[in-house]
Amino acid sequence: MVIENYSEITPELEQLAELSKKSSYIDPELYTTYDVKRGLRDLNGKGVLVGITEISEVNSKKFVDGKEVPCDGQLFYRGYNVRDLVKNLPQEQHFGFEECAYLLLFGTLPTKEQLEDFKGILAHYRSLPPNFVRDMIMKSPSKDMMNSLARSVLALYSYDDYADDTSEPNVLRQCLQLIANFPLLSVYSYAAYDYYYNENSLIIHQPRPDYSTAENILHCLRPDSKFTPLEAKLLDVALILHMEHGGGNNSTFTTHLVSSSGTDTYAAIAAALGSLKGPKHGGANIKVVKMFDEMKSVIKDWEDEEEVGNYLRALLHGEAFDRQGLIYGMGHAIYSVSDPRALTFHSFVEDLAIEKGMEKEYRLYELVAKLAPKIIAEERKIYKGVSPNVDFYSGFVYQMLGIPGELFTPIFAIARIAGWSAHRMEEICHKGKIMRPAYMTVCQHKKYIPIEERVVD
């Protein structure tokens, strides 16, 4: 068999794919038979303990009379409730991403002097190597910004004279540089994409050292570099709420897993980016926005509970949107009663909707948030309750901020690189063995068959 065009799915490839699919199938019942925790989760979806961390805690249950019962979700960064961190941001400089990044990396809230020094370090590192934008970002731009981001991270290895040095000071230096430069790598990748594929003007703004991470994202992204204080504050809050979520989420666990092999920082973070790109992890908020776009186009009265409820039921029955039977933005693997990130974010969303004249859309989101949990409980047999998660609101906020959908997941990465960095430092400092979970083999042993005697099944 000769494959002449590697970019096409030929009948021969379809045939080979069927063979691969047949040989790759594992009977789901075997996981129950052998008590194997598929995906490191038990039958109730609870994660299997594989490590210990001091960086963050995700809590959604409490003990009552010796039994675990669901409760309002809580998220802690180094022991501090994230809702308190957001609520108590200093008013004179209300940008908290840098403060929380310091907390995750160094274990304590910074003093005013420590925070200013840390922001100065990030401002110093917020520049890319000479000609990097031209040579690595502008040439052959990708249609997917997460792929562009991962490629740029891997390319930075070539510009680092100490790329393979995994000593703690050097890894910290690399992490700080990535935290500082993720906004530039993301926004510039979008600028290249927008220029080549949408034929729009190419505008590259240099970052401003006096701006926070959130401000620099809006400054570099917008042609006129203008934004309101509320816009910058909402984006800053979004970054805080997305920057860390326990060691067990897929991309953070990937960071630990790959770091345990002793590889370099760029390879570890590129692997985490590959994980976050997956629609089951980092791509949920764009699904929410697209779902609402269709909802707004087919529902005549956005305030009619019956009409909205019927659409939500159609979603669950696989009769609307992408026919997957899901109401995106509802439910979470950990939280059931409430997602603390969603509750914190929600308290700011209405203000931005009013500023943008999008109160009608906001009320539709509120109605869905009210109806969806009830309808899901009626239509599905579920072992726990569901509630709006952070993705339910984040996509709407990014939409109001004029952030293109292509950048939704990279914005997630801009936030989460702080958490990944803290976890990489934790793994490097731990100096443990390489992670190597076991898989049970259920294939039968077979006797070798000479090629002349083989037949097609």
**Annotated active-site residue in 391, 423, 445, 457:** 391
What backbone torsions phi and psi does residue 362 show, to the nearest 5 degrees?
Answer: -60, -45
Query: In angstroms, rounded to a whole number, what is the distance separating the alpha carbons of residues 325 and 310?
Result: 14
- Other CB atoms within a 10 A radius of the CB of residue 355 amount to 13
CA distance 49 to 55: 15
Q: How far is CA 137 from the centre of its chain?
A: 22
From 256, 332, 339, 423, the catalytic residue: 332
Angstrom distances, CA of residue 397 to CA of 7, 149, 239: 37, 22, 12
CA distance 156 to 414: 16
Residue carrying structure tokens 């510039």: 188
Q: Report the C-alpha gap between 365 and 352 in whole angstroms.
A: 14
End-to-end Cα spacing for the chain: 18
Could you tell me where the DSSP H helices lie in 207-356? 213-221, 229-242, 250-259, 265-277, 284-298, 305-316, 340-356
Q: Catalytic site residue 317?
A: no
User: Is 391 an annotated catalytic residue?
Assistant: yes
Are 289 and 399 within 8 A, CB to CB? yes
Q: Which residues have a catalytic role annotated?
A: 332, 391
